[in-house]
Amino acid sequence: MDREDNLSDRRAWFQRCRRVVVKVGSAVLTTRRGLDRVMIHRLSDQLAALKERGHEILIVSSGAVASGMRKVGLKEKPRTIPQKQATAAIGQTFLMNAWEEAFDKFDLLTAQILLTHEDLAHRHRYLNARNTLETLLDWNIIPVINENDTVVVEEIKFGDNDQLCALIAGLVAADLVVILTDTEGLYDCDPRTHDHARLIRVVHGFSPKLMACATPQPGAVGTGGMLSKLQAAKKCLASGIPMVIGPGREKDVLVRLFDGEPVGTVFLPKRRLYHGKKIWLANLTKPVGELVLDQGAVRALQKAGKSLLPIGVREVRGTFGVGAPVRCVDEQGTVIGVGLTNYRSGEIERIKGHHTEEIEGLLGYKHSDEVIHRNNFVLAEPAGAADAEIV
């Protein structure tokens, strides 16, 4: 995209973004009276217009819990897991019905997709979800995706729909992610507490300075603040997917964005860090175990792009099987990356600190020379990542 925001260049750039994931937050979709059906109709009008232009649309929709709260008369967010699950169960019905009704006037069908973190943490379930979404898009049906709050518990939560949105984008190889929220975009400080806050129009890459611009504080009915959106943007950019944070309640915001107007904050990737299976690995937030590595193994992984051999493993934490995603940390606890193991935790315990040629003697067999092959490993923070450029 042209850095000087040339209108025709921006319009052409957005037109090339064929597959688009649009996440709509609770602050956009709900009011004090409950679910804002008028807003859902306004958004569906814009999304239908984008489909008419040739874009494929996937929606990640918040609003189930907030909608359920209003239906049962709750004045604040439920605090217990059963209350959250019951509230979501009530609200999800109204939410999905509203989207279905809004798109029906365009003869467009919608499909409800409810996911938990476990659905995307297991490779075969991840691929099943991708196949389902690809089929729906082939059939010209709009997937409406949400976290399955009716069954989810803390251990299998995504955290919020910003993170789910980034995972879905990587899952379907989206060309663009748009997060619609109740602010105009990313500011250099919190506009709710600083009158001099300046809107950042374009971001290239990430740095601690950029992350410091955001607050983790969510709105009254949401679960994610601006910090969560930056974390989602970081995941998207690592997959080579640009992202926009924009004001969801502004009139025709999506149409204006795709017409080339400088709306919100655009995050642009400098290069794609991950491909294929590595996108899935990089986005895993809850690996099932940990391996503590010595400094030689850390250097081999970070600097030389090597595989992890048993001699570099100092400690095994957790119980897991072959092919499990595990977090690799150094002896100070710093996360190095995530990889898929070639051995069970008990086997790694027996061969840790030993040379590759000793594996068969220790176990009586040998699956592989490596504990984790380099093709099944991703770094937590790629070495040499550039600082952010802010416009």
What confidence tens digit (pLDDT) does each residue in 85-106 have?
888 888 899 899 999 999 999 9
Lowest mean pLDDT among 3-12, 188-197, 243-252, 379-388: 379-388
Give the closest residue to 280 by CA, choosing from 127, 162, 114.
127
Q: How far is it, in rounded angstroms, from Cα 385 to Cα 160?
A: 26
Average confidence (pLDDT) over 373-391 = 65
Query: Residue 390 has what pLDDT?
Result: 52
Query: Residue 357 has what pLDDT?
Result: 95
Average confidence (pLDDT) over 278-285 = 76
Q: How many CA atoms lie within 13 A of 87 on its CB side?
A: 24
Percent pLDDT > 90 in the chain is: 52
- Please, what are the domains in the chain? 7-279 (3.40.1160.10), 287-379 (2.30.130.10)
Lowest mean pLDDT among 19-33, 108-122, 151-165, 194-208: 151-165
Lowest mean pLDDT among 140-154, 260-274, 299-313, 344-358: 140-154
- Quick check: helix, strand or coil at residue 123? helix
Query: Residue 155 has what pLDDT?
Result: 40
- For 36, list phi and psi in degrees, rounded to 5: -90, 90
Query: Residue 49 has what pLDDT?
Result: 97
Query: Residue 188 has what pLDDT?
Result: 84
Lowest mean pLDDT among 294-303, 349-358, 371-380: 371-380
Q: How far is it, in rounded angstroms, from Cα 278 to Cα 285?
A: 13
Query: Residue 285 has what pLDDT?
Result: 63
Report whether 41 contacts 195 (CB < 8 A).
no
For the chain, the average pLDDT equals 86
Q: Which two tokens stand for residue 373?
A: 């092959």
Asked if the model's pLDDT at residue 150 lies above 80, the reply is: no
Q: pLDDT confidence of 235, banded at 50, 70, 90?
A: confident
Lowest mean pLDDT among 60-74, 253-267, 347-361: 60-74
pTM here?
Answer: 0.79
Q: pLDDT confidence of 209, banded at 50, 70, 90?
A: confident
Dihedral sign from CA coordinates of 21, 22, 26, 32: negative
Higher pLDDT, 15 or 3: 15
In order, the DSSP letters of 299-353 are HHHHTS-PPBPGGGEEEEES---TT-EEEEE-TT--EEEEEE-SS-HHHHHHHTT
Q: pLDDT confidence of 215, banded at 50, 70, 90?
A: low
Higher pLDDT, 118 or 23: 23
Query: Residue 238 has what pLDDT?
Result: 83
Q: How far is it, in rounded angstroms, from Cα 62 to Cα 228?
A: 14
Average confidence (pLDDT) over 180-186 = 92
Asked if the model's pLDDT at residue 283 lies above 60, the reply is: yes
Residues 37-59 have pLDDT tens digits of: 999 999 999 999 999 999 999 99
Lowest mean pLDDT among 218-227, 357-366, 376-385: 218-227
Asked if the model's pLDDT at residue 170 lies above 50, the reply is: yes
List all residues 6 or more positions away from 30 whose beta carbon is below 8 Å from its beta carbon: 36, 63, 66, 67, 70, 221
Report whether 229 contacts 162 (CB < 8 A).
yes
